[in-house]
């Protein structure tokens, strides 16, 4: 197992599943990142299954995605279903689960190690268990396997005075380290991260110390009123090529200023299409297979054209039903093996 960047040739990947997907238990951590028109739905449906027809449609797209990756020469692995609707408790709170659809959130691969993340949502507390059989297999094969300190996720972890009218206020406090892997983007020796409503400074510092002197962890800031996950804001596609969300990136981080930086096209997802957990900018959530090929949603013609103009060959896949669950190709995958060595690109 080895993966240093978002663009080295992809050899093996974990693709998520939506089996048993449930709305997360309602909690203070949700309103800062949910689309405003979904708050009432999440309150009402907390702990209940997502619509079965949508789960089935997303599962079919995931299976087709896996088939496409295999046809492109990539080994595909899948997690094990776990009982997402079963209540569980700690000493301080009770919750249900959500899904194992987004391995990019729960696990972080840096070089030859895989790290279980201290996620901030109570509904994702045991999500990494779906990947446990794979983690044990990778460990037996020689990979490093670590877990960040498991947070208690007590009320002290969350700003009880959070209000939506304060756009720069994050809901997570510095009580304990928390982070989602999807707030990090890997460019060899340089790793970029944003503070967000799930990733705090404590968590970033834990990862910086854990990785040691071989890596430089850079905190970057964007104009995002609802920050959660960097991979629909700043997307390195190859050495020297960067895709940005122009709405959120008024100033390109200084490390990328010599790169070819292009703004992502406006998303074309219809307003009638349900997006429970994300904005339409999920169209930027691309998976790079190598420095020539990028997986793009089949119906997103502006993004297909943009990728071609940037010098890539788009690999097309239907994924709009999966988008409803809050992610796209990058979120739905964890690249556990890419060929390539540890290098500096800046």
Residues known to be catalytic: 180, 229, 331
Phi then psi for residue 12, to 5 deg, are: -145, 140
Sign of the four-CA dihedral 183, 23, 322, 40: negative
Structure-token match 């996720």, residue found = 153
Residue 273 class from Cβ within 10 Å (0-12 exposed, 13-18 middle, 19+ buried)?
A: exposed
Sign of the four-CA dihedral 208, 98, 128, 5: negative
What residues are paired with 316 via a beta bridge?
296
HSE-up of 67 (CA within 13 Å, CB side)?
Answer: 9
Q: What gap in Å lies between CA 49 and CA 39, rounded to an integer? A: 16
b/e map 152-169, b = 16+ CB within 10 Å? ebeeebbbeebeeeeeee
Q: What is the DSSP string of 206-235?
A: HHHHHHGGG-EEEE-----SS---STTTEE
Q: Are strands 107-110 and 113-116 parallel, antiparallel or unpaired?
A: antiparallel
Q: What gap in Å lies between CA 232 and CA 248, rounded to an integer? A: 10
Nearest to 294 by CA among 235, 343, 340, 232: 235
DSSP 100: B
Structure tokens at 217: 């962890």
């Amino acid at each position: 197992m080895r993966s240093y960047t978002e663009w080295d040739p992809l050899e093996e990947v974990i693709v998520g599943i939506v089996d048993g997907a449930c709305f997360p238990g309602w909690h203070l951590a949700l309103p800062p990142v949910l689309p405003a028109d979904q708050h009432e739905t999440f309150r009402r449906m907390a702990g209940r299954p997502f619509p079965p027809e949508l789960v089935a449609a997303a599962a079919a797209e995931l299976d087709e995605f896996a088939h496409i990756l295999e046809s492109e020469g990539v080994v595909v692995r899948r997690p094990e279903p776990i009982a997402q609707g079963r209540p569980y408790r700690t000493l301080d709170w009770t919750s249900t689960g959500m899904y194992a659809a987004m391995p990019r959130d729960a696990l972080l691969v840096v070089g030859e190690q895989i790290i279980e993340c201290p996620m901030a949502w109570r509904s994702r507390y045991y999500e990494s268990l779906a990947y446990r059989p794979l983690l044990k297999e990778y460990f037996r094969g020689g990979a490093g396997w670590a877990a960040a300190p498991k947070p208690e996720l007590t009320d002290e972890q969350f700003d009880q005075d959070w209000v939506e009218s304060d756009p720069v206020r994050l809901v997570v406090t510095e009580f304990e380290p928390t982070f989602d892997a999807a707030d990090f983007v890997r460019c060899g020796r340089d790793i970029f991260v944003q503070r967000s409503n799930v990733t705090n400074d404590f968590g970033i510092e834990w990862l910086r110390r854990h990785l040691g002197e071989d890596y430089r962890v850079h905190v970057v800031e964007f104009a995002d009123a609802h920050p959660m996950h960097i991979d629909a804001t700043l997307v390195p596609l190859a050495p020297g090529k960067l895709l940005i969300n122009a709405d959120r990136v008024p100033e390109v981080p200084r490390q990328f200023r010599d790169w070819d930086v292009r703004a992502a096209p406006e998303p074309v997802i219809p307003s009638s299409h349900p997006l429970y957990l994300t904005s339409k900018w999920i169209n930027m959530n691309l998976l790079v297979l190598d420095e020539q090929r990028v997986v793009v949603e089949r119906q997103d013609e502006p993004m297909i054209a943009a990728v071609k103009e940037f010098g890539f060959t788009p690999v097309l896949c239907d994924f709009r039903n999966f988008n409803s669950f809050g992610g796209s190709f990058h979120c739905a995958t964890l690249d556990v093996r890419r060929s390539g060595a540890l290098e500096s690109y800046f």
